[in-house]
Chain A
Amino acid sequence: MAHQSALIAEDIESYLQSHAAKGLLRFITCGSVDDGKSTLIGRLLYDSKMIFDDQLSALAGDSKKFGTTGGELDLALLVDGLAAEREQGITIDVAYRFFSTDRRKFIVADTPGHEQYTRNMATGASMADLAIVIVDARKGILTQTRRHSMIVSMLGVKRVVLAVNKMDMVIYDEKVFRRIEKDYAEIAAAFGLKDVLAIPVSALRGDNVTALSENTPWYEGPSLLEHLETVEIHGQDSSLPFRMPVQWVNRPNADFRGFAGRIASGAVAPGTRVKILPSGKLSSVARIVTYDGDLEESTAGQSVTLTLADEVDVSRGDVIAAADAPCEIADQFETRIIWMSEKPMVASRQYLLQSGTARSICTPAKPKYRIDMQTLEHEVCKTLAMNEIGVCDIALDRKIAFEPYALNRTLGAFILIDRLTHETVAAGMITHALRRSQNVHLQDLSVDQAARAAIKGQKPCTIWMTGLSGAGKSTIANVVEKKLNAMAKHTVLLDGDNLRHGLNKDLGFTEQDRAENIRRVAEVAKLMMEAGLIALVSFISPFRAEREMARELIGEGRFIEVFVDTPLQEAEARDVKGLYKKARAGEIPNFTGISSPYEAPENPELRLETVGQSPEELAEEILEFLMNRDFLSR
């Protein structure tokens, strides 16, 4: 680390002051496999003297063992950290690197070019101020280049450096460089990337990386490093209105109530009038409390604790915003989604949504389209698979404070989480709220469910019977309904086959359609309960996620999941409708138990083992359960 070594040696205190004042630039590098990303970063680290002696000797050893440079120092090995990829010679995950020069500190996210790891590139881009898009001079613009530029643009990275690498392999030919520069200009225009600088480099040889090269006398721009050191950091615009998502309510004692968070935009000072969202309550800031004393003002990016002048209800997930320019609240949005899970998106399935510090339950609609990365055309689609990018409307179970992503990364970004596996399955960006969400208000009903149920002398609930085709669900449901009817209870039976003849006749048997099928029947069951009825639902409902969605919608405590447990061999042996035979013959696609999975309930309210028991006995078990839970009196 020889930079500024004179100052370090002679006057360490002034050096420390100058270092403390250095700006921080976060950037990403992206390109296809073998374009030389890792080599380029290795070169930046090496040439800016960030490599220590012991690392260098380890590198020399590694270069002989794993290197692709014929025994010469393989700088890529400095960066490729994981053992597996060292062996394969490719970068498979996001790696963060740190270096500094006299002028700036840098954090580099090295992001992979391998097709299946696009999600990692989006990860790197989400925090970056600048992107270096690397192109192999011999190959020019590839599909991956377009894909990466698209992601860079979508994630709001404003500045791009087009590094045309391996110039040594094309004998530093200006024509090659200019052609690629021109080709890329079209892509940049298509994606709205306005700030692009093309630089001819050779990461391997070091041309134009930290200093201008004699091999490219025709190139008059700055070297890569000089550009990185001087490019304007797109700082937070202090003229933007104040917003802070509340992370933590700080209550050490009865006298202090502070709201801790990191300011997402704008500035705040004691006396600033604020609005709490989504509640809409008004107050003003009393103090900005920090460990180092109260602040007179605080700006975007800082982690602070605010106290308010009034006792208003504020909790984690709320946003404290400038009262004169509050952000909007809504529960339906048009969004762009990057799907990141191996399991494709299922429209109508519920996912957890995390945005700012708020959590909600999100139901995506069928995507409006996905973007073909070759042609950039919009394609009709039913779902989004891993690494696909699409535009999709979503609906939340509650209103949240938000801003369009283009205006505010913090309040416009979200992730989707699978409710069962807890995996992060997608990253999304809010384009805008849907009008219908702002204008349609729930009607306030004066005769409510309790009133309707009361005149029937019963407690509404949903008895949800799930199991394989031919397990005996409908048979048992029929017996239960007969018995309830005899007890003067008002019921309705929703049967899978019957609903598919009417309400759901537009749906097939794909995973998406099955999810929508269940969503509809759950909504119908909920309406029936509103009417004061006991709803019996007899549906295969093979997926845990959809049953959980139904449970959520109908409400814990009133949703009684009954697992009609008949082993597959038994159901297949019975084969009342002759369906298993057809399925085995391959005539029915997506048949549960044969060509589509059945996910048995883990904790059903009731499990009925049908083998060796009559429908009559099994129905009695259900009635017994209802009595024990006070849905029926004895």
Chain B
Amino acid sequence: MALTPLESESIEVIREVASQCDNPVMLYSVGKDSAVMLHLAMKAFYPAKPPFPLLHVDTTWKFRDMIDLRDRKVASLGLQLLTYTHEEGLAQNITPFTHGSAVYTDVMKTAALKAALDKYGFDAALGGARRDEEKSRAKERIFSFRDAHHRWDPKNQRPELWNLYNTRKNKGESIRAFPLSNWTELDIWQYIYKENIEIVPLYFAKERPVVERSGTLIMVDDERLPLHRGEKPQLRKVRFRTLGCYPLTGAVESDADTLPKIIQEMLLTTTSERQGRLIDHDGAASMEKKKQEGYF
């Protein structure tokens, strides 16, 4: 079957990263966007394997189903997976409960990612972010520069014309490349459906144990979730529109247990995707701030 324009554009971007950068890596979060990006990377270099490893920043609070799919996927494709956990944060016992979502995300995700990139000396990291996700993403380049401290300067972005990507950088600087920049959430789902890409089962509705906290349904994925007094997990038919650390990811009640039903639900719904992610609500323009500080 012929490739679609979005698919071809993404493959072109992934190949440019491999061709022009010395030591690239693909960030693999195991979410649906990552699944699509990985699939495209397999296409880009076929019959060879992608010439870069995958990197998963493991906060230790990911859903168990995510880790399971990650390990199976990597083994079946025969790819190299690097996992990184911020040991210092772990030693200090920084969890979403003890330190709040802002500090936790800063240490276990943002700082961890920076440390991982520094540890391996990666000069380019492919990420699955899309421009339609959030307002400040809409202005980011496909090839986005980070200074030696991994900071993004929105006022100092290089012009990006045609499909000519300037990957030259100074020592210590690095690149984040976003091959899915021009995909929408609908495009992603449609592609997963068309290409039959395996995704984490949590996207499909099923009875799961949840607790309700300030209007958000949190899944009790393991015994580490501290229950408030009188709080009792209830079985409800829920699914996740977006996946991250389970204590910070809200579930939605749903009957959508097939891909067409998920897409149907998404199209008929009136709440945008990131609402399930608690970190976006930490303050006005918070995603932009996080990105300037090095969050992916």
Contact = CB atoms under 8 A, between A and B. Distances in A.
A262 B12 contact: yes
B261 interface: yes
Interface in B8-67: 8-9, 11-12, 15-16, 18-19, 42-49
B285 A96 contact: no
Contacts of A95: 138-139
B184 interface: yes
A90 to B, nearest CB: 13
A413 interface: yes
Contact of A8 (B2, B132, B268, B271): B268
Contact of B263 (A16, A80, A260): A16
Contacts of B45: 248, 250, 260
A175 interface: no
A218 interface: no
A216 interface: no
Nearest to A121: B159
A228 B164 CA distance: 27
B136 A81 contact: yes
B181 A55 contact: no
A583 interface: no
B264 interface: yes
A415 interface: yes
Interface string A79-94: 1111110100000111
B99 interface: no
A54 B288 CA distance: 18
B260 A13 contact: yes
A53 B271 contact: yes
B91 interface: no
Interface string A304-332: 11000000000010000000000000000
B275 interface: yes
A24 B166 contact: no
Nearest to B193: A16
Q: How large is the interface on B (under 10, 10 to 19, 20 to 34, 35 or more residues)?
A: 35 or more
A252 B15 contact: no
Contact of A422 (B5, B9, B137, B170): B170
Contact of B1 (A251, A260, A292): A292
Interface stretch (B111-119, B150-158, B221-229): B150-158
A260 B44 contact: yes
A333 to B, nearest CB: 16
A143 interface: no
Contact of A303 (B44, B269, B284): B44
Given A127-B162, A248-B19, A302-B3, A16 B46 contact: no
B213 interface: no
A585 B271 CA distance: 69
Interface in A58-107: 79-84, 86, 92-98, 100, 105, 107
Interface in B161-192: 161-164, 166, 168-170, 181-182, 184, 186, 190
List 6 A-B pairs, minimum CB-CB distance, nearest first: A81-B135, A252-B48, A422-B168, A52-B272, A83-B285, A303-B11
11 contacts: A52-B270, A83-B136, A96-B139, A120-B159, A256-B47, A299-B2, A303-B15, A352-B168, A415-B159, A422-B169, A423-B158
Interface of A: 1, 5, 8-9, 12-13, 15-16, 19-20, 24, 52-55, 79-84, 86, 92-98, 100, 105, 107, 119-120, 122-123, 126-127, 247-248, 250-252, 256, 258, 260, 262, 289-292, 295, 298-299, 301-305, 316, 340, 352, 354-355, 357, 409-410, 413-415, 417, 421-424, 427
